[in-house]
Each structure stands twice: as C-alpha cells, then as structure tokens.
Structure 1
Amino acid sequence: MDKRVLLIGGGKSFMVTSISKELKEQGFEVVQAAPDVTEIEHIENRPNVYLIYVDDVDEMMEFFVYLRDKSVETDISISVIGSPDEIEKIYTKTSKDKIAAAFERPVNVKELGRAMLKVVEAEEVRLQKKRILVVDDDGTMLRTIKEWLSEKYQVFMVNSGMAAITFLAKNEVDLILLDYEMPVTTGPKVLEMLRSEPATSDIPVMFLTVKSDKESVMQVLSLKPEKYLLKTMPPAELIANIDEFFENQKIKKYM
C-alpha cells in the first residue's frame, strides 16, 4: 500500500505540525506544501492523496477550484479538515463527490491518522479499476455517464475533441467513450487523430451517439471503433456493454 500523503496547510500551524507528526508515526510518508498552486505543481512525484487543513476558507476558494479541475485531469484523492461551515463552502466549489473524506475541527489527530489509513486503502482499490475517458460537449451527459459508471470504473471527463487529445498526452486510459457529433472537432475526426498517433492508436474507442444509421457507421468503419452505444439506451445496458468489452479483453489476454 502506498502510504504517501500531500499535507497542505500553513507550515507554521501547530495543528498542521501535529497532524504531520501523527501521520509519520502511523507509517505515512508526508510531503508538506502551502495551498499554493505554483508550489504544488513544482513538487516532483507528488502523492495522489491530498489532505488539506483549512484555516481561512475564503482565501482558499480559488485553490479548491484548482483542485476540482485537477481531479478531473489526474488521479488525486482530496480530504479536508475544517469547520462544518467551511466544509459546506468547499462543497459549493468542488461538490461532495470530489471529497474522499471531510473531518470537522477540532480534530483528534490519532483518529485522523486511522481514518487516513482507510482513505489510502480506498484509493488503492479505486486505482485498480479500469480507466474510462468520456468525451462529450454536453455537460449533463458527461455527469450522467460518470454517475452511471463510477461505481465500477475510474471515469474522467472532457468536453471537446481537442481537450481529449490534450488529456491523453499526459494520461493513459483503458477505453474512450466518444461523442459522435461535436462542434469544431467531430467524434470521427478525433478518432482519426487518435489512430494516426502511435501513443494513442491502440486505445479502444466506443462511440456515444444518437445516430445508428448505416451511413454513419460506414463512415468510420476503417477506424475500427469497438462499438456504437446509443445515448438513449438504459444505464444498465450501457454498463453491460462496457463490462462485456473488458471481460472479453481479459479472456483474449489469457488465450
């Protein structure tokens, strides 16, 4: 188990120092940083588990916006320590599903250390899940599919074809769910770009579409998408198609 934590907070704070000491006593490797985007971005080999001590939530709100966006791009687990009011304010910028754990002040550092062990264990389980990138210009569709798939899979979201290309330059995924019709760069054009680059040419792609006509299918046949998933299909059917794909991959691996 990777027991590494990025502890974010005022370096001279008595509580931050106490938390750091307790985590180390429980076997964690602790990397400390201020709630500063530039400082954090310059940390090499950053832990993917973040624990943030909130001492002035209003001054840190933009920082939480950064973390929200960062959590879409990369694998990070965010836990926070603050008052009930501060935690509610954080949810307005990040939403509850972005926060792995929230601890109310005053916090018992020994109990916190034990709780962070569970956070790290849960994160290790999550990181073993298959990684799916969903590409769609419809924000509602993105959030809906993420909600459907998140129990079984790691789900990342981008809202344009070029954002997908940028994401894939830094991140690996096991499957892409790609909207067929998007402005500027269409789904078929994105798939063509992916197939032309060695680093992305073998990533499996399924189209998300409202178009199931023969002409649309024939247009991209040579690019070998795995499937065409209709956006109108029930959640259970969409999940079953993805489950079946990964199960078949597993079977092929051992044949």
Structure 2
Amino acid sequence: MDKRVLLVGGGKSFMVTSIAKELTENGFEVIRAEADVTAIERIENRPSVYLVYVDDIDEMLDFFVYLKDKSVEDDISISIIGSSDEIEKINKKISKDYFAAVFERPVNVKELARQMIGVVEQEEVRLQKKRILVVDDDGTMLRTIKSWLSEKYQVFMSNSGMNAITFLAKNKVDLILLDYEMPVTTGPKVLEMLRSEPATSSIPVMFLTVKSDKESVMQVLSLKPEKYLLKTMPPAELLANIDEFFEQQKIKNYG
C-alpha cells in the first residue's frame, strides 16, 4: 500500500508539524507543502492523497478552487482539516463530495492518523480501477459522465481535444470517451492525432456524441473506434457498453 500523503499547510504551524509527526509514526511518507499552486506543481511524483490544513480560509479559497480542478483533471483524493466555519465556507465554493475526509478542529492527531489510513486504503482500491478519460467541451456533460462511471472506474476529464492530447502525454488511460463536435479540434481530428502517434495509437477510443447521422458515423469508421455511442442512451446502457468492452479485453488477453 502506498502510504504517501501531501500535507499542505503553514510550514511553521505547530499543529501541522504535530500532524506530520503522527502520520510519520504511523508509517506514512509525508511530503509537506505550502498552499501555493506553483510550489505544488513543482513537486515531482506527487502523491494522489492530499491532506490540507486550513489556517487562513480567505487566502486559501482560490487554492481550493485549484484543488477542485486538480481533482477533476488528475482524480486526486483530498481531505481537509478546518474549523466548522472554515469548512462551511469551503463547502459554499466546493461540494463536500469532492473530499475523501473532513476533520473539524480541534482535531485529535492520533485519531486523524488512524482515519487517514482508511483514506489511503480507499485510494489504493480506487487506483486499481480501469482509467477512463472523458473528452467533451461541455462541463456539465463531463461531470455527469464522471458521476455515472466513478463507482467502477477512475475517471479523468478534459474539456478540449488539445487538453486531452496534453494530458495523455503524461498519463496512461485504458479507454477514451470522445465527443464528436468540439470547437477548434473536433473529435475525429483528435482521434486522427492519437492514431498518428506511437505512444497513443493503441489506446481504445469510443465516440460519445449526439450525432447519429450516417455521414458522421461513416467519417470515423476508418479510424476504427471501439464503439459509437449516443449521449441520449440511459446511464445503465453506457455503463454496460463499457463493462462489456473491458470484459472482452480480458477474454482477449487471457484467452
């Protein structure tokens, strides 16, 4: 089990130091950082588990918006420590669904460490799931698809074709769900780009679109997508198609 955690909080805070010490004594590898976007982005091989100590909520609200975006793009696990008022302010900006655990101050560091073991265990289970990248310029659709699939799969989201290409340069996925109509770089163009690069040419791609006309379907058949699915299908049907695809892959690999 990977017991690494990124502990975000004031470097001179006695409480943050106590939390770091207790986590270390419980077998965690603790990487500490200030609530600074630039500093965190510079950390190589960052853990997927973040624990954030809130010490100045007014200054940190923008940082939490960054974390929300990171949880969407990189699918990280975020836990927070704060007062009841601070937690309430955060939840007005960011849904509590984004947090793996919430600890209200004053906090018992020993109990916090025990609960963080559970958070890491949950993250370990999640990281074993197949990885799906959903590419769509509609933010509402991205969040909807993520909510449908997240129980069974790791879901990453990209709101444009070029962002998807950039994401895939650094991250591996098992399947891409690709919108057909997008500004600047269309779905078919994205698939052409993926097929032309050795690193991405073999990634399975399914179109997920509202375009059901024969001309649109025929245009991408030569690029050999795994499936051509419609956004109007019920959630259970979409999930069944993805489940079936991975089952067929398993049979192919072990058959």
- Bin of the TM-score, shorter chain as denominator length: over 0.9
May I ask how many residue pairs the two structures share in their alignment? 255
Give the deviation of 1:104 after TM superposition: 0.3
Give the deviation of 1:168 after TM superposition: 1.1
Counterpart Cα distance in 2 of 1:214 and 1:88: 51
Counterpart Cα distance in 1 of 2:211 and 2:66: 36
The corresponding residue for 2:34 is 34
Residue 231 of structure 1 pairs with residue 228 of structure 2: no
**Letter of the 2:68 counterpart:** R
| Farther-moved stretch of structure 1 (218-227 vs 161-170) | 161-170
Counterpart Cα distance in 1 of 2:195 and 2:29: 41
Contact 1:100 1:119 in 2 (8 A): yes
The corresponding residue for 1:138 is 138
Counterpart Cα distance in 1 of 2:97 and 2:172: 22
Q: Cα deviations across residues 13-57 of structure 1 (Å, max 9, x unaligned)?
A: 111111111111111111111111222222232222111111111
Identity of counterpart residues, as a percentage?
Answer: 85
**Letter of the 1:117 counterpart:** I
Residue 8 of structure 1 pairs with residue 14 of structure 2: no
Give the deviation of 1:126 after TM superposition: 0.5
Q: Cα deviations across residues 174-198 of structure 1 (Å, max 9, x unaligned)?
A: 1111111122211111111111111
| Farther-moved stretch of structure 1 (216-225 vs 120-129) | 216-225
Counterpart Cα distance in 2 of 1:7 and 1:41: 14
Change (3 A) 1:82 1:208: same
The corresponding residue for 1:48 is 48
Counterpart Cα distance in 1 of 2:93 and 2:206: 31
Contact 2:129 2:154 in 1 (8 A): yes
Q: Cα deviations across residues 147-179 of structure 1 (Å, max 9, x unaligned)?
A: 110111111111111111111112111111111
The corresponding residue for 2:111 is 111
Q: What residue ranges of structure 2 are gaps of 5+ in the alignment? A: none
Residue 187 of structure 1 pairs with residue 187 of structure 2: yes
**Superposition CA RMSD, Å:** 1.3
Give the deviation of 1:108 after TM superposition: 0.5
Contact 2:75 2:155 in 1 (8 A): no
Give the deviation of 1:72 after TM superposition: 2.4
* SS class of match (2:222): helix
Give the deviation of 1:199 after TM superposition: 0.9
Q: Cα deviations across residues 63-98 of structure 1 (Å, max 9, x unaligned)?
A: 112212222232421110001221122233332232
Q: Cα deviations across residues 108-135 of structure 1 (Å, max 9, x unaligned)?
A: 1110000000000000001111111111
The corresponding residue for 1:196 is 196
Give the deviation of 1:212 after TM superposition: 2.5
**Letter of the 1:101 counterpart:** A
**Letter of the 2:3 counterpart:** K
Counterpart Cα distance in 2 of 1:182 and 1:46: 31
The corresponding residue for 2:153 is 153
Counterpart Cα distance in 1 of 2:221 and 2:43: 44
Counterpart Cα distance in 2 of 1:183 and 1:47: 34
Counterpart Cα distance in 1 of 2:175 and 2:229: 13
Contact 2:75 2:156 in 1 (8 A): no
The corresponding residue for 1:96 is 96
Within 5 Å, give how 1:171-186 maps onto structure 2.
171-186=171-186
Counterpart Cα distance in 1 of 2:143 and 2:81: 27
Contact 1:74 1:171 in 2 (8 A): no
The corresponding residue for 2:22 is 22
Change (3 A) 1:144 1:85: same
Q: Cα deviations across residues 204-246 of structure 1 (Å, max 9, x unaligned)?
A: 0101122233322211111000001111111100100000000
**Letter of the 1:219 counterpart:** Q
Counterpart Cα distance in 1 of 2:193 and 2:92: 37
**Letter of the 1:69 counterpart:** D
